[in-house]
Structure 1
Amino acid sequence: MPGPTLTDIARAAEVSTATVSHALNGTGRLGESTRRRVREVAAALGYGSRRTPLTRTGTLGLAVTTYAGAPWNYVQVPYFSRLLTAAAATAHALGYALTVLPAERGGETLWHTLTVDGMLLLDSPEDDRVLRALRARGIPVVFDGRPADPHPDDVWVDNDHTTTTREVLDHLAAAGARRIALHAGYGREYYTGAVTRAYEEWCREHGCEPSVIPFDPEDAPGHAFDRAFSDRALSGRDSSDRTLSGPASSDRSCDAVHSLYDPGGRQVLAAAARHGLRIPDDLLLVCASEDPAYAETDPPVSTVTLRPETIAETAVTTLVARLDPALPAPSPGGLTVPARLCPRTSTGRPSG
């Protein structure tokens, strides 16, 4: 195969073709770190020699790239923790090692020199630098979550977020909710956008005004809800009022919350407690989370499981099929794993 072009190197190193030319020719006014990085990327891509097929290593890589470059520990998030365990078990059963990469890239050249046969990318966002580097090197990729800008031959494993969102909203409406807020808007991955679009469409169909409350992972007390909850303490109201007009009175901005991220449910519980709101009497709550502790909170919180173990097994098996010519090649496009709503007390009707 022909070697990489200057454009290939520029795309992978995230610089201009002029910068690549200066770096490789020792010309121009470039910083030494930029010149060195471009040369390392060029070497990793095989510049100056005919490109040879990648040497098989028997190793798969896995990375969460939603916030790639930021030093956050995704392993402590229940969804990723459970997915990683299942991915490692599936990879080992198929004869592969699994390397889990840190969210912080650890150097601009890591993705250009990484030696793996294929990669699993979780929650790849728009303009994903890691994905660009892997594509430039020709490393096969399978995605957990639909990529923002899929190529014709891309394969991904995901839930049907539109169907799941509608199920959650219908469940809340059936329990009496009239003004449902969405706790979202943090990530740039497909999941957040798909759920938000489905929520806004559902609101339009039901004549409701959408209300998206921004999520902040550091907001443990749930201050994002202060404005929505400030005038909502209903301690003197008979709970049976809810069966007549829903839990929302005219001075309340929302009577239910659907939170998209694992800490969100605890943030809502904290905010409700500070404002004297009773769950489920005054406020209904559903949280997308794989944390079993939500079954033991006071009250137990209804959750949506995205079934990360099934997603991991499907994604790893699909990636191995892309690598092994003896196996049937997977068809491009998305593979759907149904999510599941687990109703608990936080969306139950109050007594009386």
Structure 2
Amino acid sequence: MPTGSPRTPGGPGTPATIADVARGAGVSKTTASDALRGHGRVSDATRQAVLHTARRLGYVPNRSARSLRTSVTDTIALHIPEFLTSAEYYMSFVFGVAEQAARAGLNVTLVSSGRLPQVDGLIVCDPMPDNPVVDQLMNAGLPVVTAERYGGGQEPTGVVWSDHETSLTELLDHLRARGARRPAFIASDTSADWTLTLQRTYTRWCAEHDTRPLLRKAPFGASPEVLRGAVGELLAARPETDAIVCAADGAAAAVLPEIRSAGRVVGEDLLLASCVDSLAMRTAEPPITAIDLRPRHMGAECVRLLCETLAGEAPPGTARTLPIDMIVRASTHA
């Protein structure tokens, strides 16, 4: 007859095992394992019962053993546009991913080619459908969450996106309320969904207000010199321009010297705004009205959605909207 007292699952000094979780949820060890990993044919009710039992018992998986038994690596991959890694938006996005991944007990590896190391899932920021690296990653057979929508043939497992159409419409309406009647738009020449959405929105807004579009495009990641050249040509050819909206991160601050050299005064006879807020917008003279895209929150939300997808808590095709806000500053206070 045993003389020792029975072990309490999850009690002090006795960490709960997968067998304890299975017993507590009334399922087999295989079903409990599948439910915790988000794999296999497990009903939602069973999965929730297993997750609840695991939380109640304080179950913590043995990662080393789990990695030997399965393909789970506790690592996710991240891809961002390679030549824009110094842009403030993308750096804030990366920090958001890294912070949320750390909270979830995950490692993050940055990938710049279509060849992936062994990872559990993938986050792709601003995916461009004509980019062969992005195409390879989207077709790698892994769960993929994209930051902004993907216009290619392969549907991501999940997407976190922002309503750029509404935000730009609000910005253009704000400029009109401040007296602007001939707003120009300096777009990024790229196939990313957010860029195309901005261009369509600007063109539609001009049509609705019986205004001739003044649309100029600059290469994606263009240097300040290229951006200043585009604005200089615009103001020389269209001196009636009374507002300029720049799509790219940092572009509005970069073109300020060109606007001044053309004899225009920002915030008085020319309004200036940006579709991406940053430190450069906040510290410019005058400070520039911009749309806060909340990149750090975007990165964190992408990790949350990927984790829920891997755990089977979010179905394939889940789309979530991240709110964004217009920050009005002196550059549009005419």
- Shorter-chain TM-score: what band? 0.7 to 0.9
Task: List aligned pairs for 1:77-88, cutoff 5 A.
Answer: 77-88=87-98
Which residue number corresponds to residue 133 of structure 2? 130
Which residue number corresponds to residue 247 of structure 2? 260
The one-letter code of the counterpart of 2:87 is V
Which residue number corresponds to residue 77 of structure 2? 61
1:339 aligns with 2:328: no
Task: List aligned pairs for 1:174-213, cutoff 5 A.
Answer: 174-213=177-216
Alignment TM-score, normalising by the size of structure 1: 0.70
Tell me how far 1:324 sits from its aligned partner.
1.8
Which residue number corresponds to residue 218 of structure 1? 223
Please provide the CA RMSD for this pair: 2.1
Partner of residue 273 from structure 1, selected from 254, 260, 271? 260
Tell me how far 1:152 sits from its aligned partner.
5.3
1:185 and 1:86 map into 2 onto residues whose CA distance is 24
Alignment TM-score, normalising by the size of structure 2: 0.73
1:201 and 1:79 map into 2 onto residues whose CA distance is 27
Q: Indicate the SS of the match to 1:138.
A: coil
Q: Indicate the SS of the match to 1:273.
A: helix
Tell me how far 1:151 sits from its aligned partner.
4.4
Task: List aligned pairs for 1:40-59, cutoff 5 A.
Answer: 55-59=71-75
Does the C-alpha gap of structure 1 residues 115 and 284 become closer, same or farther in structure 2, counting only changes over 3 Å?
same
Q: Indicate the SS of the match to 1:222.
A: helix
1:331 and 1:119 map into 2 onto residues whose CA distance is 14
Does the C-alpha gap of structure 1 residues 157 and 113 become closer, same or farther in structure 2, counting only changes over 3 Å?
closer
1:147 aligns with 2:150: yes
1:91 aligns with 2:101: yes
Which residue number corresponds to residue 35 of structure 1? none
Q: Is the 8 A contact 1:228 1:253 kept in 2?
A: no
Q: Indicate the SS of the match to 1:125.
A: coil
Q: Indicate the SS of the match to 2:108.
A: strand
Q: Percent identity?
A: 27
Q: Indicate the SS of the match to 1:182.
A: strand
2:138 and 2:70 map into 1 onto residues whose CA distance is 13
Tell me how far 1:154 sits from its aligned partner.
3.4
Tell me how far 1:255 sits from its aligned partner.
0.7
Task: List aligned pairs for 1:298-337, cutoff 5 A.
Answer: 298-325=285-312, 328-330=313-315, 332-337=317-322
Tell me how far 1:228 sits from its aligned partner.
2.5
2:172 and 2:138 map into 1 onto residues whose CA distance is 38
1:133 and 1:199 map into 2 onto residues whose CA distance is 32
Tell me how far 1:135 sits from its aligned partner.
4.3
Q: Is the 8 A contact 2:130 2:191 kept in 1?
A: no
Which residue number corresponds to residue 283 of structure 1? 270
| Structure 1 segments unaligned to the other structure (5+ residues) | 1-52, 106-110, 232-250
1:284 and 1:275 map into 2 onto residues whose CA distance is 14
Tell me how far 1:288 sits from its aligned partner.
2.3
Shifted more, 144-153 versus 201-210: the winner is: 144-153
| Structure 2 segments unaligned to the other structure (5+ residues) | 1-68
Q: Aligned residue pairs: how many? A: 263
2:302 and 2:163 map into 1 onto residues whose CA distance is 16
Which residue number corresponds to residue 230 of structure 1? 236
Which residue number corresponds to residue 75 of structure 1? 85
Tell me how far 1:174 sits from its aligned partner.
0.4
